Every structure is written in C-alpha cells, then in structure tokens.
Structure 1
Amino acid sequence: MATRRIVSDGKDILERNDLSSAPAGSSEKSNISPAVPTSVIVKLLGFTFAMISLPIGTYFLSVNTIFGGNSTFAGASAAVIANVVLIAYVVVAMREDQSEQMATEQKQKKAE
C-alpha cells in the first residue's frame, strides 16, 4: 500500500497567519504584563506561608506549654488556627473583589 506525502511550502498555518496579520511597517507593542497582578500573588504567598506555619507552630507551642502534653487539645487548637487563616483569606479575597467592582462602576459613571 502506498502512502501519499503532503508537500508543503515550509511554513505552517501559524507562521502564515503571523505574516499576514501584521503589516510590514507595524510597530505595535505586545502586552507582556502578567495575567495576575503582583499584589494578588503576594497575598496568596503570604496566606500560604501562614497556613503552613501558624497551625504547626500553634501545635508545638501549645502541646507542652498550655495543654501539658495533651496532644488532642493542641491538635484542635491547630485546626482552629487553620480555619481562622482560611476565613481571613476568604474575607480578604471578597473585599478585593468588591473594591475592583466599585472601581469599575466609578469608571463607568465618569465615562457617562
């Protein structure tokens, strides 16, 4: 059985589209800004660090000093701290989202 070879001009579809969409003298700048703002990444990293270090630190600090070796109560306190960090993250994220919505509404009012 013979197979048929497809002979192309050496350029794939993407290269042809790139050449045809941009004019020869075009000096259009590309947008290389990150999709996620830096402040959001910093907040996420901060809460990630808090979610790791605070419950573990709470457990080890409270197991002998506060609860006298009772690891059940120390584990429960670590779980409470983990939930506090999680709730704080949700509250911060919701406030940030609300501030973005209010800024968008103010821009729309000024445009009118």
Structure 2
Amino acid sequence: MDGQTQRPAIRPGTGSQPLRRKGFYDDARLEEVYRRRIERLSHGPPSKLSRRLQVINYAVMFGVGSYMVLYQDFGDKPHCFTGLRKWYFNKIDSFWSLSKEEERELRERGQLK
C-alpha cells in the first residue's frame, strides 16, 4: 500500500450513514422538505420574546373566544351557544346572590332586612 490506511467499508444498519432506500428520495419535493427540516434544526429554539408573544397570543385568543361565546349579541333567536350561556349566567347569578338558607340566616341574625 502507498502509506494510506484503508477505511473499513460502512456496513448497512450500523448508523454511520443513513441507508438510501430505493425510491425513498426519488421525489424531489420530499427531499426538499427533508432538507428544510434539517436546516431548521440548526436555528435552535425560539427566543424568549417569541415564546412570550406566543403565550400572550393564546391568552388573547381564549379571551376573544370566550367573549364571542358568552357575551356577543347574536339576536333573540336561539343559537348553538344558548345552552352554555344559560348555564354560565345561572352560575354567575348564584355566585353573586344569596341562597334561601343564607337569606334566612342573615334575617335571623338581624344583618339583613
């Protein structure tokens, strides 16, 4: 030999190189998608600002969705949110008002007229 060491042949399935399956990357579009995904890995994770904006975005979307379902005026006709609205406003009313037993107890103590 001329002083160079020979590298052993790469055996299939050892993980040294990916196997090229026949027909797997014959589609240029699939190969381009694969290459783009590999390139994105080198960009690293998103910045803290990006993550904070994403969380704020989710909170705003939740708020707008809740407003649309619970408070948006869809007219007097029944609609798909009518049952949920009735349940929600009954819960809100029961939270901000006294039950019959609580009223009776407060009247007995003289704290309610």
TM-score range, shorter chain: under 0.3
TM-score by length of 1: 0.27
- Higher relative contact order, chain-length normalized (CA < 8 Å, sep 6+): 1
TM-score by length of 2: 0.27
Structure whose alpha-carbon radius of gyration is higher: 2
- Which one has a larger percent helix, Structure 1 or Structure 2? 1
